[in-house]
Structures are given as structure tokens and as C-alpha cells.
């Protein structure tokens, strides 16, 4: 008799446990929301979409705003499906994180306004204003001889981060060519100065004074700068000194997007 009671109690416990598990699983599934934004499907949690009270998405999820459904029963929002990725990431992270080289600030600001996310809209507009200000400031990098600043190469660009990349790359190339001779050049904020810099019949070259061995040509550094600029989406606006006859012999390069 005691065994039968224990068995029944065990069966009841298992049923209760299974019932709780089913309810938890059901609650978890109902907390997942699928959105169709301009033909792109996004799956996220209800708490993510309702993070900001009085936003458009919070209004939809809580029934304050009427929203149509697609053929599969998902909420359909007729907005830019690709840009919604950044809207959703903002809701998840609580901050504006955009990929390097992002250029659609104006469009993203419009999307933020539509979804009634003022914090995001302000962050995008602030970022946009900073980029506009930076684009009006031409920055430069000068590669020169520490004894004669008339010899060398000047690189101009309206993107400070690109100038920093070029400087890092040229320093890397120079170190690889001047292995064991770190004292041969110095680096400051906008200038790379080489200790020994001479003019030869074959062009301007960097040399090691001890044995007069050619190490690295300015043409090599120009090539590095031009290839990096093209790879990053910049274009060579013009040679700032056209009297040289070609880009190879020019003393300055000007890049712009």
C-alpha cells in the first residue's frame, strides 16, 4: 500500500515538474518577437523592444499602436530593413555603436525619429555634426629630412583617422626597412622625420649613412599611401605640386572622399 502511494506521489511530482517546464518554455517563446522590417526579419525579446517607454516599438508591443501583420503573422513595419539593425543594436546595448566608415547618419537619424527614440536620434545627430566639422578640417602628414625640411613628402586629407592609419603604416614599413636602426627616424603628431635623407639621380631615397646603402625610397612610401587611400574609399584629388610632371615625382598628395 505504501509503495502505491509513493508511486502516485512520484507521478504527481513529475507531472507538476513537466507542467512547470512547459509553462516556462511557453513563457520564453511568447517573449520572442519577430518583426518584418522592410522585408528583413528580426527576432528579439519583448523586453528589448519595450526598453524605452512611449517609443514606437513599445507602443506596438503593448497594443498602444496598431501595426499590420505580414502573411506569416509577423509585425510588419514599412521602414529601412538594413538600417533597423542599428536601431535594434542600440536597444540591446544602450549606446550607439556603428561600423567603421558608416556614412548614413542622416538616414539613421530619420529612422530614429520615426521609432521615437530621442536618445538615439540625439546621438546620431551629434556624431553627424562632429563628422561634418572634421570634414572641413584638412589634416596632413609630413615625411621629411630632419636636416632639410624642403626634402620629403606631404600627405593631405580631410579625415584625421585616415592620416593616423597612413602614419602607422609608413612607420611600420620604415621600421621593417630600418631593422636594427630605430634611431634613424622620429615620429611626432603630424611629422615623421628621417635622420639621413639624400637626393640621388634615381630619385629621393632614405639611406644608412654608415655604408651608404639604399634602404627605402620615397616612391615606396607614396605607393603605400595611395594604395591605402584607394582601399579605404578615398580618391586622389590632385597632386598639390603639378610642376613635377607626375604623381611619382610630386612632393604632395591630396586625398578626399
Contact in structure between 253 and 156 (CB atoms under 8 Å): yes
Would you say residue 87 lies in a domain? yes
pTM of the predicted model as reported, rounded to 2 decimal places: 0.49
Same domain, 117 and 58: yes
**162-180 burial by CB neighbour count: b if 16+ within 10 A, else e?**
bbebbbeebeeebeebbee
The helix (H) or strand (E) run that includes residue 217 is strand 213-217
Contact in structure between 251 and 239 (CB atoms under 8 Å): no
Would you say residue 19 lies in a domain? no
How many domains are contained in the chain? 2
For the segment 89-102, what is each residue's pLDDT rounded down to a tens digit? 999 999 999 987 78
Same domain, 48 and 105: yes
For the segment 198-255, what is each residue's pLDDT rounded down to a tens digit? 554 455 555 444 444 545 566 777 777 888 888 888 888 765 454 555 665 677 888 8
Better-predicted residue by pLDDT, 72 or 191: 72
Would you say residue 22 lies in a domain? no
Closest CA to 59 of 77, 72, 41: 77
Q: Give the CATH number of the domain where residue 122 resides.
A: 3.30.710.10
Range(s) of the domain holding residue 93 = 32-135
Same domain, 194 and 152: yes
Would you say residue 26 lies in a domain? no
Amino acid at each position: 500500500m505504501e509503495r502505491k502511494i509513493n508511486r502516485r506521489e512520484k507521478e504527481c511530482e513529475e507531472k507538476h515538474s513537466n507542467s512547470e517546464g512547459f509553462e516556462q518554455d511557453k513563457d520564453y517563446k511568447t517573449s520572442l518577437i519577430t518583426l518584418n522590417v522592410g522585408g528583413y526579419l528580426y527576432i528579439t525579446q519583448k523586453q528589448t523592444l519595450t526598453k524605452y517607454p512611449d517609443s514606437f516599438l513599445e507602443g506596438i508591443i503593448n497594443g498602444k499602436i496598431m501595426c499590420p501583420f505580414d502573411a506569416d503573422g509577423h509585425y510588419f513595419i514599412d521602414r529601412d530593413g538594413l538600417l533597423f539593425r542599428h536601431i535594434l543594436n542600440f536597444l540591446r546595448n544602450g549606446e550607439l555603436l556603428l561600423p567603421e566608415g558608416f556614412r548614413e547618419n542622416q538616414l539613421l537619424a530619420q529612422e530614429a525619429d520615426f521609432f521615437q527614440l530621442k536618445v538615439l536620434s540625439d546621438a546620431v545627430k551629434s556624431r553627424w555634426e562632429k563628422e561634418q566639422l572634421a570634414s572641413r578640417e584638412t589634416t596632413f602628414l609630413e615625411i621629411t629630412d630632419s636636416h632639410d625640411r624642403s626634402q620629403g613628402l606631404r600627405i593631405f586629407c580631410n579625415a584625421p583617422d585616415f592620416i593616423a592609419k597612413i602614419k602607422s603604416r609608413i612607420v611600420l614599413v620604415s621600421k621593417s626597412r630600418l631593422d636594427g636602426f630605430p634611431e634613424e627616424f622620429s615620429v611626432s603628431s603630424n611629422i615623421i622625420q628621417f635622420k639621413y635623407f639624400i637626393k640621388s639621380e634615381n630619385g629621393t631615397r632614405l639611406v644608412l649613412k654608415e655604408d651608404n646603402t639604399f634602404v627605402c625610397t620615397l616612391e615606396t612610401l607614396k605607393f603605400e599611401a595611395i594604395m591605402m587611400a584607394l582601399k579605404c574609399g578615398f580618391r586622389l584629388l590632385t597632386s598639390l605640386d603639378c610642376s613635377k610632371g607626375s604623381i611619382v615625382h610630386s612632393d604632395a598628395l591630396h586625398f578626399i572622399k
